A and B are shown apart, each in its own frame.
Chain A
């Protein structure tokens, strides 16, 4: 039983329950305390750590993470609370009485040093050769808190074997400090439940069900655990050496597509504040590295809107007019983490997944067919790379069915972090690059494709097109500036109703052969929902199973990662709620700055249907290249 006893909230996860205040002086939900002999007032129930932060006092942490519930296990954040026999973990202590805190007493400093020393004594690794060098929280602690030698020794050999089985995540448990952030991420944040601590005492380690390699458990490759690991114990499976080799091989034609989210976050890898898009600088950098062509994944995001939108129309037509049994609501399929989650947890709902491939895979299929032909390059000579915010994309491009071009459609999925390293290795300072455009024949894409990077983006892009297709009105008439704000934002689950009204426009040419008119939609209210993070996805799925309000939906967008792709497992570390917000701002403001903001206005896509997919969206050819099928995996892997 893979998950029996695993999918439970560990202690650490339980929300802090605030003790009932006993003192009547706690008026207005705040409380006066003392930190380092200074009187301050904080909201009741604030942790000591947050109280310190609010007052400009730094307390070191390691197991604490803003996205996760409290663990209180590393103990590096201990402080003195007057009257208490022991030191208290500040991240785990909710303030409910007028305590006096000291954050830098001799015993506190000594304890911190000892704790860091102890972690180092078990930590196998040399910072020089480590992926996290300069971005490692353990290293940082050692540097900041006075560690000047290995007081309690240092391990000379790895304690555990590397687990390199997964296409997406590599586990190097010899570098693990047992902060359990990954466990809390996998069990509580994502509710997948692959990682758990096993054994006791000194043998405690993070493991999988029956110690199986990660490839053989129900990991969805979301990489959220990587993003929260303070050390290099978890990292993505990095293909950059192979990509360098392809670039260096004159016989290879190396093309790269870049997804919307990396460009909005890669600045963080270059010592810039979060929230600056470096789209055009990145294009230049990629060419200088040696990629032969630089394409915009947003093009196939726009294409996705055509395919997935048409598929939705067809499903609705079948259900409403032809009264045939058809799987509704339709689920988006662009997030490979979500797709695998569904395949494992809700295999019986597999038919609800849109058969449209993700933009990455659509592009892959196009590059080795349409583009190869156009550019006069042999598909076997093309090496197709995709820069993604996502570690699951690595797995996705290796799915055996993803070879509709006759070749492996996408050769390598590269994360934002890995690309940043390549750029640095090439001696390029990205922010200083001159700007340049994407290469044709795909050129510039629409803002609709761009906002795929944020939770709600696919839905917004779909609405911008579907609304116009059906009503014949401008999206701007319904939503100011075509910003479909009700589906935006970081609320875990969003639900929106969109009455289609009584008056319809003509059926656009591309799908005229599929539906005669829109009259059958009279009086229909389009019901859509958006969920990000698989824990939220689970809520919707369970509601659907129980026949709740989401079962009445027509279309639901699911993203495996919190915040959508911008919070993906391949994005710069750290990723925090604040940083996700800034990345979203970068994406939405770039969208507003674009001329073309609707998928159906993207001239390149329109041309594709005229020249290549001549039987239209969901036609024969598009079915072959742009659509896929899924696997009912279930929870138990033999």
Chain B
């Protein structure tokens, strides 16, 4: 696990293995929660739920057993930043999990590792073993009496929906990966029916830094509503794809410059379930208040056909819907059929408008985040690339 030389003001800033655990166990739980609240850290998995709130709810729940789950399913097309963290910065992720265990009162943490990342399993297990030897895991961690915590790694089953936290829990329990009804929420009824916090890999990594450097330090980065920094997985038409740490509030145009993208026509922010932003809006900023993302940035240059781009996304959703609820199972098929009609120039505006309405229904009525976000690309591409799609009959580009 060789570290590349990465630059960043928060996540990639210097950190020594175990230091946040050592500090955490000297603090009261409330003090850690206080710092977290100060930091205004929001979950990095995409939904942006305040981490302090989630942990407070789990900490307050009275139950014999509680669980910490690290969501390392990283299934969103175009994201690979969790892979970098796990490969190069496991100390941040695992230390963050141990702190979560300390704060909420859990004894077990589970990493739900994307099936395709099986190749890391051995090195991660070895790493956990060194932590056990150094008393960063196990009994009375770092001398804290009665603080016992261990971490297990489970391999995912390869479905995108298993990244959704309740489907992930189902999968962990050995069931079909299907989202649960909410409420009740995992903070209350999670893994094995016990209070559980599910957090993204990067969320845990951020916590490790916050515990060392404090909430107000963290707030100095980013914007008022989106504090700290974010890892971006950049792919597509640019010269320097890869993982970048940038403060929230960075403009899209700034990022494009950094990664040396040329002739950019569109940026898909947030993966297949995100939105597609046209050139005219490249001065928008990344942040929960504007262009939110779990980290996936896909760049499309002028040579790309946006209808093809959209078709790829829709095919992805038709395939990846877990199939339990009507709007998502059938709705995505209808949207895909609409894209195919557009491709063949066999459409009426009336029907396309009906599909847009359907897209809104899917956002509102699907059971889980997959179906709720699957129409985003359809709606934003049809809206932002009207000219291309309707005037040119979708015929330009390759």
Which residues of A approach B to under 8 Å, CB–CB?
5, 8, 10-12, 14, 16-20, 70-76, 78, 86-87, 89, 92-94, 96, 107, 110-111, 114-115, 118-119, 121-122, 151-152, 177-178, 180, 197, 199-204
Contacts and interface: CB of A to CB of B under 8 A. Distances in A.
B330 A202 contact: yes
A17 B185 CA distance: 9
Given A5-B174, A75-B325, A86 B331 contact: no
Contacts of B136: none
Interface in B289-335: 317-327, 329-334
B364 A197 contact: no
18 contacts: A8-B175, A17-B184, A20-B61, A72-B325, A86-B363, A86-B365, A93-B181, A111-B327, A114-B358, A115-B326, A118-B330, A197-B176, A199-B323, A200-B323, A201-B319, A204-B323, A204-B324, A204-B329
Contacts of B185: 19
B358 A152 contact: yes
Which 3 pairs from chain A and chain B are nearest by CB?
A: A204-B323, A92-B181, A118-B330
Given A111-B365, A201-B329, A94 B183 contact: yes
Interface string B357-370: 11011011111000
B319 A200 contact: yes
Contacts of A10: 175-176, 178
A268 to B, nearest CB: 29
B267 interface: no
A227 B74 CA distance: 42
Nearest to A180: B324
Contacts of A122: 330
Nearest to B62: A20
Nearest to A151: B354
Given A114-B358, A115-B361, A201-B321, A70 B181 contact: yes
A546 B109 CA distance: 35
A86 B181 CA distance: 13
Contacts of B372: 86
A89 B319 CA distance: 24
Contacts of B174: 5, 8
A152 B334 contact: yes
Contacts of A89: 181, 367
B188 A111 contact: no
B181 A72 contact: yes
Nearest to B363: A86
Contacts of A8: 174-175
Contact of B193 (A17, A71, A110, A114): A17
Contacts of A199: 323
B57 to A, nearest CB: 10
Contact of A202 (B179, B181, B327, B333): B333
Contact of B322 (A17, A92, A111, A200): A200
Contacts of A180: 324
A93 B182 CA distance: 7
Nearest to B371: A75
Contacts of B354: 151-152
B180 interface: yes
Nearest to A72: B181
A134 to B, nearest CB: 23
A16 B332 CA distance: 29
- Interface of chain B: mostly helix, strand, loop or mixed: helix
Interface string B240-257: 000000000000000000
A200 B326 contact: no
Contact of B318 (A20, A75, A202): A202
Given A10-B175, A201-B329, A75 B366 contact: yes
B327 A115 contact: yes
A19 B188 CA distance: 7
Contacts of B357: 110, 114
A17 B175 CA distance: 19
Contacts of A70: 181
B159 interface: yes
Contacts of A16: 181, 184
Contact of B364 (A71, A92, A111, A119): A111
- Interface of chain A: mostly helix, strand, loop or mixed: loop
A177 B189 CA distance: 29
Nearest to A9: B175
Contacts of B181: 11-12, 16, 70, 72, 89, 92-93
Nearest to B178: A11
A201 B176 CA distance: 13
A422 to B, nearest CB: 36
B367 A73 contact: yes
Given A5-B174, A94-B184, A180-B324, A111 B330 contact: no
B150 interface: no
B170 interface: yes
Contacts of A202: 318-319, 321, 323, 329-330, 332-333
Contacts of A94: 183-184
B330 A121 contact: yes
Given A121-B334, A200-B319, 4 more contacts: A19-B183, A74-B326, A86-B365, A201-B319
B324 A73 contact: yes
B178 A118 contact: no
A481 B364 CA distance: 59
Contacts of A118: 326-327, 330-331, 334, 358
Contacts of A177: 326
Specify which of B321, B327, B331 lies most central, judged by the most chain A CB atoms within 10 Å of its CB: B327
A151 B337 CA distance: 13
A86 B320 CA distance: 21
Contacts of A151: 354
Contacts of B273: none
Given A11-B175, A17-B193, A75 B365 contact: yes
Contacts of B327: 75, 111, 114-115, 118
B376 interface: no
Contacts of A204: 322-324, 329
Contacts of B358: 114, 118, 152
Interface string B330-348: 1111100000000000000
B314 to A, nearest CB: 11
Contact of A73 (B319, B326, B331): B326
Contacts of B233: none
B232 to A, nearest CB: 25
B123 to A, nearest CB: 30
A204 B322 CA distance: 8
Given A86-B365, A114-B361, A118-B331, A76 B326 contact: yes
Contacts of A115: 326-327, 361, 365
A243 B333 CA distance: 44
B361 A11 contact: no
B166 interface: yes
Specify which of A8, A74, A152, A199 lies most central, judged by the most chain B CB atoms within 10 Å of its CB: A152
Contacts of B324: 71, 73, 178, 180, 197, 204
B43 to A, nearest CB: 16
Interface string B49-73: 0000000000001000000000000
Given A11-B178, A12-B181, A197-B324, A110 B361 contact: yes
B365 A78 contact: yes
Interface in B156-199: 159, 161, 166, 170, 174-176, 178-181, 183-185, 188-189, 193
A87 B176 contact: no
A11 B170 contact: yes
B73 to A, nearest CB: 15
Given A75-B327, A93-B183, A122-B330, A201 B322 contact: yes
A203 B189 CA distance: 30
Contact of B183 (A73, A75, A96, A200): A96
A86 to B, nearest CB: 5
A75 B331 CA distance: 12
A574 B341 CA distance: 42
